[in-house]
Structure 1
Amino acid sequence: MAKPKVVLGVTGGIAAYKACELLRRFTESGHDVRVVPTDSALHFVGAATWSALSGNPVSTEVWESVHEVPHVRIGQGADLVVVAPATADMLAKAAHGLADDLLTNTLLTARCP
């Protein structure tokens, strides 16, 4: 049986470091986790840390590859999307369909809860 695929969106709140614990719990439970941090989140926890903890590469840019569109691949392949912490800015963007970074674009393409 394939591991459930989880997208963990991390925003730039002071609680961003707590997402490391959430990531650990998901991976220990047998989930395949892709972390999608915002630029602001990377000020609190770096991409190398997310990659090491998840065992997966960390994508941060919508157009980082011309051969594929990461937000579509990541969003449509997910079984679950969790955004933690979710700043007020992220909640407003999600509520109004504003997609100006990889995480918000991923939310728009996700076909799961």
Structure 2
Amino acid sequence: MRTKRAMLTMLAVIMALIFTVPASASTPALQYPYGYTLVGGGDLTITGYATRGAYPGNNDVLLYKGSALHSKRDMFGIGHFSHTYYNLPAGTYYFFFPGNPWSISDVTFTFH
């Protein structure tokens, strides 16, 4: 009886892990809390304000066109920032700022 109960408990724990850990945990949308969907083409200018905590963390800024990584670079800097991506083909883009230790605000995206 105890062996059966122990096996059922272990099975319940394994099932809980299988159904609570998302299969897509490596997608950028889950790793990067500041995500935006953009539709357009041409030159894309991004402006905003950023602060960074003093502890280690991710600095990657990612731009995807569909599911393909189009650009990966370090964060634009602390304080007011403006960055332009040039000659982007028309389409749907997904833009991700890094999460902790960054805080991002007043963000605008302009295709021109």
Q: TM-score range by the shorter chain?
A: under 0.3
TM-score by length of 1: 0.23
Kindly indicate which of the two structures has a greater share of residues assigned to helix. 1
Kindly indicate which of the two structures has a greater share of residues assigned to strand. 2
Of structures 1 and 2, the one with the larger relative CO (CA 8 A, separation 6+) is 2
TM-score by length of 2: 0.23
| Higher radius of gyration, 1 or 2 | 2
